[in-house]
Structure formats: structure tokens, C-alpha cells
A and B are shown apart, each in its own frame.
Chain A
Amino acid sequence: MDENKENKVNGAEDEQLKKELEELARVFQEELDKAKEEELSAQSEADGAEESPADAELIQDLEDVQAVSQEEDDEEIPEEELCECCGENRKGTKKNPDSPYCYECEKALRHYPFELINIIVPLIAIVFSLYCCYVFSNNIGIYTAAEEADKYVGENRLYTASSAYDIAIEKMKDEGVNGELVYKRAFDCAYKSGEFLSKDLDEDVFKKWELKLPHLKSVYKTKLEALEMQNTQSAITDIFYKYDTEDVKDLPYDKIIEEIEALIDAPAKEMPVYDGETGEEISTTSPYNIKVQNYNKPMILYYEFYIAVVCEKDIETQISFLEKIRDEYPEMTWIYGSVLGDLYNKANRSVSDLCRQIRAVNADDSSADVIEATSLRIKGDYDKSIEICNKFIDKEDTYAYEFLRQKSICYLLKGELDAAYKAAEEAYEQSAIPLTANLLLICSAATDNTDTYNEVAELFKQSNMDISKEILDYKDGKTSLEQIFTKGDFDVV
């Protein structure tokens, strides 16, 4: 109980003490604030009393000058230190303090912007290059065909080249390409091989004025020569018809030759050209207005040879005309090669130089091999002759019938009559001309094949042709195969 009373008394005393302490803290704070205020006012009064207004102004100015100087250091950059691009900031960057550009400009210049035109021009060029790719790939077939033809020309395989040019030209037509230089090379090839007279070459490929330009000069020359040859043929035919006789023995050989030779220096007479549709005479000599001024000398010489053959002049006279062509126009083997080789064989002269020359001009010209096979057969080397013939028979060559004929003669002379008959029959099937028909008659007679003999003889009769005396003599047993094929013309005429 006493304890409780004592606790109550202690609590009241604590309460009283707390209040007194709080009051004391408030008074202390008030007194402290008051003292601070008094001290500050006293300080300001004391400062004002110590300095005069003039001194204060002077001090202030000096400080200002120092402050302005510091500001100028920060803001005004010497001209030589300014960025060369923007001219505002200080040049140099952290990475490259020596850079003539400020950080921003250097960053921008490293990503220099494109103008619209900068992009448009290359873009157009790239798109156009894609179109170019398309054009190129479209024409690849033409390029390869023409390249192939050119390759054959390089190898002197003129007939193969001519066929390859035909393919290339066909492809050009399909693609609507007017490749003048391909036509030009086809013309050149046809000229070399002698096909330009017979081959149908497009007339409207070149423009008239173009033929006068250097790159198409050879086309002009080819066309001119073709026209000259046609004119020459026409002029010689006119001369020949003047002396039209029933018997060739009545032909005035010397006079005809004289007249033909006079054409060499004579100005060419314009050959009339007729319109295909209306039949009217056209004033120009060709679609390209090529004027023919002279007659063609190789053609004149060839016709002189022809007249010599018709007038049954001796073999050396015939050879002399062809040798003139060979000497003056060696590249024209197509005009003299095979006939001269045949004459050399008949005259039992060497044919090796001629064959080499024919092959050098046109490796595809198998007439050289015909001449060689005939020469070997005449010399009695039948096996080698047959070997040459077989090569061309297998290739289905243009002259395959002639190779078959030579093979047949070789077998006849070797005594292998059945093989001879078979080859002769094949030759006749390939080309039913008097030459093959004659041989088939002999082979039929040799093998006693009367059916074939009569059949062919009937054809001769229907064509109003006489069977050769040699064949009739052989059939009647008046002559032998050796006499026909190893003497005289070495062949059945």
C-alpha cells in the first residue's frame, strides 16, 4: 500500500520536471535566435562602416573583368581552331584530336548522305544491266551457232560451215535478229566453196549504201562476181547459139574460142532483170544496184575448156584451159578441181599436188579423194583405193555414188564380180546418171544378170540415148574389162 502511494508521488514529480525542461529548451532557442539576429545586424552595420562606396565599386569592377575573361575563354574559339565543316564548334575529337572537324561533323561526314540522283542513276544502270543479261542470254543460241560455223571455216571445212551458217541464220530469223556480219561471213564462205552461184542468199539483208563500206566489201565483191559470172554465161551462150549445128564436128572451134576470148577485155553488156510478178524488165542489174562492167575471166576460161570438150579437142588442150584458171585463180578449186583431176588421171599424170591444193582450200571437198581413189585404181592399187572409197561411202558423202563406182571398178578388176555388181547397183540407186548406169550395165553383163541389163538398157532407149560401144563390145565378148578400165580413158564412157 505504501509502495503504491510512493509510486504515485514519484510520477507526479517526473511530470513536473519534464514540463520545466521543455520550457527551458524553448527559452534557450528564443534567446539563441535573438542573439543570431543581433549578431548579423551588428555585422552588417560594421561592414558598411569600414568600406567607402568608391572602393566597393572599384573592387567589384576588377572582379567582373576577371570573370568576363574566364567566360571568353569558354565561348569565343579562335578561327583557326574552328571546325572546317560547321565553323562553330572547336575542331578535333577525343579519338582524333587533330581532326579538322568537330565531333558532330565528323560523325556526319563518316555517313555522308546520298542525294536522290546519286541513287537513281546507279539504279537505272543496274536495272538496264539486267535487261542486257536477258538480251545476251536470248542470243546465246545464235552466238554459239555462228561460232561453230566460224570454227569450221577456220578448219577449211567449207560445206560443213555453210550448213552451220544456215542454222545460225535460221536462229537469227526466229529471234528477229538482223546480224549482218553473220550473213557476210556466210557469203564469204559460199564464195570460197563456190556455192554462191547456187545458194539462195537473202537479198534484203544489207542496205544499198552499206555495201560500199569497208566491212562489207567482200559481200559486194561476191555479189558482183556472181553477176559477172551470170553475164558471162549468158554472153557465151549467145555466141554458142550463133554456131548451132547438128554435128559438133561442124562447130568452128577457133572462131568460137576467139570470140569468147574477146570477152576478157570487152565491157559487159547489162543483163536484163525481169520482175518476178509482173514480168516487166527492171532497169537495175540487181537489188543492190551493182553494175557489172566486165566479164568474168575464170568463167571465160572454163567455157573455153567446155568448148574444147564439146569439139573433142585433145586432153592437153582441155587441161591447158583449166591450168590457166589454176595458175591465175588458185583459190577457185570448185571451178577447176574435180575436172582437172579427172583429166590428170586420164592423162596418167600425178594428182597429189592438185589434191593437196583442193583440200587446202576446202577440206570438205571430197572430189580430191575421188581423184586420189581413181588414181590409185588406175595404178592398180585396188585395195588402197577401196579403203579410201569406204570412208566416204560410210559418211554418206555427196560423192558417195562416185566412190561406190570406183569401188565397183576395183572389184571388177580384182575379179570379185558379185561385190562389183552390188556396189554398182548401190551407186545407180544413189544417182541414176549415165556414168552409174553404164557401170551397172557392165556389171550386169559380167555377172550375167540379164534382167538388170535389160531394165537399164530400156531406160537408155526411153531417153533416146545409145549404149556405149565399149559396153556392147564387152557384152559380145569383143573386149575385156582390163581393156576398158586400164587403157584409154580408164573408165567406161
Chain B
Amino acid sequence: MTVLYVIIKYFTVIGTYVKAFFEHVCCRLYEVLIEDGRYIPANEMCGHVDHEIIKRRGASFGVCFFPFLFSLIIGMIFLSAGSMNVYYLGEFFTKSGYVNIVNFIFLWLGVSFLTNLFPSVEDAITLKGLLYGENTNLFVKIIASPIFAVLYCGAYLEKWGVTFVTSVAFSFVLPSIYAHILPVIS
């Protein structure tokens, strides 16, 4: 499983790298102790920075959520242009007849970022313990539940390499979503 995980991480290396960078930034902001600052080691920590077990609820949430959010935003930008230009318009070639490599790069980057959205399973479990422990009030538990559910499930999906499949599938579906959104925007 780790081999598949590492292969997918290396195939989507830009998303992997940038996600680890965001995690690193968040760890620094929350003063979380980083034990291994390598972004793409060939093991199950590929795409994550190896840090101490976080004991503060806010820090744990921040380290899980903000890298997810930033990668999601950048991934959506890339995937929107890539998916619409390739799958919807079919701009495979430029007017001069060359392969339109930029559109394919957009698409690959979009898939790459969306494959690497979620925290490591250990971080997700830590977050679960902190969010749904005895000392958390009910309001926080309810408010955080949708985001937590996404992060928690996503962490397991990413561990098994399923997020690559889901992001590729999403890239196909995205033009249909825009078919509903764009007329409203315009």
C-alpha cells in the first residue's frame, strides 16, 4: 500500500510538495515541533512534515485544515482552467497546430493539488481526539463536524491513494458543474 501511496505522491509531486510546505508553514505558525522537515521522503510521510503529537485543539485543527484549504483553492484554480479547456472546449492544439501543453499542465496540476488535500491519518486521529474529547463543548463539536468529517475521511482515502481517482473523476465532472454556475455568474 505504501508503494502505491508513494507512486501517487511522486506522480502528483507538485501538489505533494506544496501541501507539505503549507503544513510546514502552519506548524511554524502554531509552534509545533517538527521532527523531520523533508517534504517528499519515500515513505508514508511523503507529502507531510513529521511533527510531534499536537496537544492543543486549535493548533491541531489549523495544521489539518489550512493546508487543506490552501491546496483546495489552488487546485480548484488549476483544475477549472485545465478541465474546462481540455474536456469542455477540447483545446488540445494551438491555432498553429502544436499540442497545447499549457492546458494539460493546468489539468495535471489541478489533479495534483486535489490529490494531496488531506492531513495524515495520525493528524486526523489526533484532531478527532481533541475535537471530540471530554473537554470540548457541544457547539464546537457541531460546528466543526462537517469539516472534520471531510478531513477524517479524506485522510483515509488519501492513505489508500483513492484521492487520485476522485480528483481525476472530479476533473471530468467539473464542466457539468460549471454549466450550472456560469450562467448564474454571467
Task: Tell me if A122 and B21 are in contact (CB < 8 A).
Answer: yes
Give the distance in Å from the alpha carbon of A128 to the alpha carbon of B113 in the complex.
13
**CB-CB contacts of B17-41 with A at 8 A, as 1s and 0s?**
1100110100110011111010100
Question: Is A184 part of the contact surface with B, judged by Cβ < 8 Å?
Answer: yes
Contact B31 A111 (CB under 8 A): yes
* Contacting pair A136 B81 (CB below 8 A): yes
Question: In the docked arrangement, what's the CA distance between A128 and B112, Å?
Answer: 14
B93 within 8 A of A: yes
Residues A136 and B18 in contact, CB atoms below 8 Å apart: no
Interface of A is mostly: helix
Are A139's CB and B21's CB within 8 A?
no
In the complex the two chains form, what is the Cα distance from A136 to B32 in whole Å? 37
How distant is A156 from chain B, measured CB to nearest CB, in Å? 17
Interface size on A, residues (CB 8 A): 42
Question: What's the least CB distance linking A318 to chain B, in Å?
Answer: 43
Total interface residues in chain B, CB < 8 Å: 44
Q: Is the CB of B89 within 8 A of A132?
A: no
Q: Can you list, as one digit per residue, whether each of B127-151 has a CB less than 8 Å from chain A (1) or not (0)? A: 0000000000000000000000000
Docked CA distance A370–B78 (Å): 50
B139 to chain A, nearest CB (A): 30
Please tell me if A109 contacts chain B, counting CB pairs below 8 Å: yes
> Quick one: closest B residue to A133, CB to CB?
B77
B21 touches A132 (CB 8 A): no
Are B182 and A144 in contact, with the CB atoms below 8 A? yes
Distance (whole angstroms) from the CB of A291 to the closest CB of chain B: 24
Whether the pair B85, A182 counts as a contact (CB closer than 8 A) is no
Binary CB contact string for chain A from 118 to 132 against chain B (1 if under 8 A, 0 otherwise): 110110011011001
B6 CB to closest chain A CB (Å) equals 18
Q: Tell yes or no: A178 within 8 A of B by CB.
A: yes
Q: Return the chain A residue nearest B55 by Cβ.
A: A96
Q: Give Cα A114–Cα B27 distance, bound, in whole angstroms.
A: 12
Chain A residue, CB-CB nearest to B18: A122
Pairwise interchain contact B74-A177, C-beta atoms closer than 8 A? no
A79 to chain B, nearest CB (A): 20
Give Cα distance in the complex from A135 to B107, angstroms: 13
> Inside 8 A of A177's CB, which chain B residues have their CB?
85, 89, 91
CB under 8 Å from chain A, chain B span 56-78: 74, 77-78
Of A112, A119, A180, the contact of B27 (CB 8 Å cutoff): A112
Say which residue of B14, B21, B77, B90 sits within 8 Å of A118 (CB atoms).
Answer: B21
5 more CB-based (< 8 A) A-B contacts, given A129-B77, A147-B182: A112-B24, A118-B39, A143-B182, A180-B90, A215-B90
Q: 17 A-B Cβ contacts within 8 A? A: A101-B33, A110-B34, A112-B24, A113-B37, A125-B18, A125-B74, A128-B78, A132-B106, A140-B185, A143-B88, A144-B186, A147-B178, A148-B183, A177-B85, A178-B95, A179-B89, A181-B88
